[in-house]
Structure 1
Amino acid sequence: MLGAADGPRPAAGFVRIGGTAVHVRTEGSGPACLLTGGLGSSWFDWDLVVPFLAPYRTVVRFDRPGFGLSQPGPAGRSGPTLAAEAERIRGVLDALGLPEPCTVAGHSLAGFHVEAFARLHPERTAGLVLVDGSTETAPRPLPAPGLRDLAARAVAGGATAVAVPYLLGPAVRRLVARVVTVRGEDLAPAPLVRHCYRTGRALRALLRENAAYRDQAADLAELRAIAPLADGLPVTVLAADDGCRNRRTEDWLGRQRGLAALLDADFRTTAPAGHLVMFDRPDAVASAILDTR
């Protein structure tokens, strides 16, 4: 386990948060920044960004429960919640002995998580960066969260019993990465992809997060009404522009502009880039983070 009393911070290890062993990575030196990925992501999806940041920042990455090398999360009565994800970020920073304000960057779904952290822990937040973050207009929670989570776990358990993740997990991961990058390839190390995406725990975590997506969006909408961002907090919305002047791309960029306006944020686009911006334009992601402080 890692902790402030353990001496120099090692590059990799595990911290226990809420009874779950969470895999963390730290590199570099200087003020801290924390990177957390979207639905189904693992720590190595930020690999291309880290070299741009490490000379200037202490870079923290972690895997949410079930993803990467982290243990599965407890079943509970419902799936992952927004408040729990914000507390997980705080727990990671506390476990690493990083009490000073930190720049938090979230990709896609994790944009919900880092924004919630910034609103709930303004004294711990130096900057907020949303990397092609998820957006929802007037979201409403879906009924029966416990039953939905139970169904997600049951589907994952059934698929695992007939070896679906082992047979198809890495291939599906590579296919998705190719579709959401302009590069058309998965730049993550193949051995790590096989190790992390052959497991039933990754499929279970993905299905549980997906089942809870609308609930987290609705919770964030409520939080925005009662917990404003700190005055003067640097906020950046970085949107991926794939260069296609079609309705889908224009709609997405419009939604990202709307998010930036809502948060009074600096709005940036980077092109050409797909949703997995960290692969297509790691330099632009790093610049957005470095410029917030």
Structure 2
Amino acid sequence: MEGVPLHAVAEGSGPPVVLSAGLAMAWFDWDPVAALLVAAGRTVIRFDRPGHGLSGPAAAPPTAAGEARRIAGLLDALGGPGRVPVTVVGHSLAAFHAEAFARLYPERTAALVLVDGSVEEQPRTVLPAGLRTGAARALGRALTAAGIPAAAGPAARRAAVRLSRTGGGDPAARDLVHRCYRSGRVWRGILLENARYPDMAAEVLALRRGRPLTAPATVVAGYDGSGSAAALRWLDRQRGLAAVLGARFETAAPAGHLVMLDRPAVTARAVLSASPGVAALPQRRA
């Protein structure tokens, strides 16, 4: 897609749901949620953005509109499931992409769900975008040449997941983690996407001014239950995001940033409840 081989997985049947993972994550990080959605009668579509998971290397710096087009192109390529409006779900950084899709393709959007989505009320940049992009590319090449991804990539992934959860370690299969995170391609993609984070945040703010959100929206915030100032501040910012979007607000607790791993049932229920007239999962412990 756009010259980059895109890895995607579609499973199940019924109303379609697109799941897009955050920075440095892969399609398999949605496994627990995907299983619940398929069991509830949904077609679940997962994919890896360029430079992530098993997709090809990132050929160009990402933009929010570009990632929205990528989702639209993926749906076009899938045929049947992509011909009806979808519930688009974005985690963390991918919340920018999901919101951009909902605003740019309202006729293709049944609902929008943001899972502990990135929030930037006033995005600021210190360095020009071109300089940040160049630095990210140079660092990625240097790390790859030094063999850092091959030597420490999987361990870095495991550590990041542990730090982003309240419920344990990394449940991903060892072979998948090694296949993805030993690759310099993935770490170059991560650095490039991270370098353009503030630009995508600003792009979404601009879309909010000119492209109304017509689909029902839900914001799900992860809360670790600690009562710390940082945790409460994050909840306030997530509530603020919901208010800006006119969205329903839910808290998943206890959960870290990787809500889909800590509270998969809460996440699945939020997705299933997002579209009017569609039954949700029965209430039970996550």
Secondary structure of the residue that 2:119 maps to in structure 1?
A: coil
**1:52-201 → structure 2 map (5 Å cutoff):** 52-55=36-39, 56-74=41-59, 76=60, 79-97=61-79, 98-141=82-125, 143-201=127-185
Query: Partners in 1 of 2:90 and 2:102 — Cα distance?
Result: 11
| Aligned residue pair count | 272
Q: Counterparts of 1:140 and 1:81 in 2: how far apart (Å)?
A: 16
Counterpart amino acid of residue 218 in structure 1: A
Coordinate RMSD, CA, aligned: 0.9
Q: In structure 2, what is the Cα distance between the partners aligned to 1:278 and 1:145? A: 31
How far is the alpha carbon of 1:184 from its aligned partner? 3.0
TM-score (norm 1): 0.91
> What does residue 288 of structure 1 align with?
270
2:10 alignment counterpart? 26
Structure 1 vs Structure 2: percent identity of aligned residues? 54
What secondary structure does 2:274 align onto?
Answer: coil
2:278 counterpart residue number: none
CA shift, 1:144, in A, is 2.3
More helix by share: 2
Q: Does 1:239 align with 2:221?
A: yes
Task: Tell me which residue corresponds to 1:51.
Answer: 35
Residue deviations 1:105-154 (CA, integer Å, cap 9, x gap): 00000000000000000000000000000001122455421221111111
Q: 1:209 aligns with which of 161, 174, 193?
A: 193
Partner of 1:20, secondary structure, is: coil
Q: Is the 8 A contact 1:182 1:280 kept in 2?
A: yes
Question: Quick check: 1:142–1:214 contact (8 Å CA) kept in 2?
Answer: no
Give TM-score, length-normalised by structure 2: 0.93
Match of 1:40 in 2: 24
Deviation (angstroms), 1:43:
0.3
Alignment of 1:231-270 (within 5 A): 233-270=215-252
Q: Distance in 2 between matches of 1:164 and 1:266?
A: 43
User: What residue ranges of structure 1 are gaps of 5+ in the alignment?
Assistant: 1-16
User: Aligned partners of 2:23 and 2:172: how far apart in 1?
Assistant: 16
Q: Which residue of the partner structure matches residue 8 of structure 1?
A: none
Unaligned 5+ residue runs, structure 2? 276-286
Residues 36 and 30 of structure 1: CA distance in aligned 2, closer, same or farther (over 3 Å): same
Give me the whole-angstrom Cα distance separating, in 2, the residues matched to 1:138 and 1:157. 31
**Aligned-partner Cα distance in 1 for 2:89–2:18:** 6
User: Given that residues 142 and 215 in structure 1 are in contact (C-alpha distance below 8 angstroms), is that contact kept between their aligned partners in structure 2?
Assistant: no
Change (3 A) 1:141 1:86: farther
Contact 1:25/1:61, CA 8 A, preserved across alignment? yes
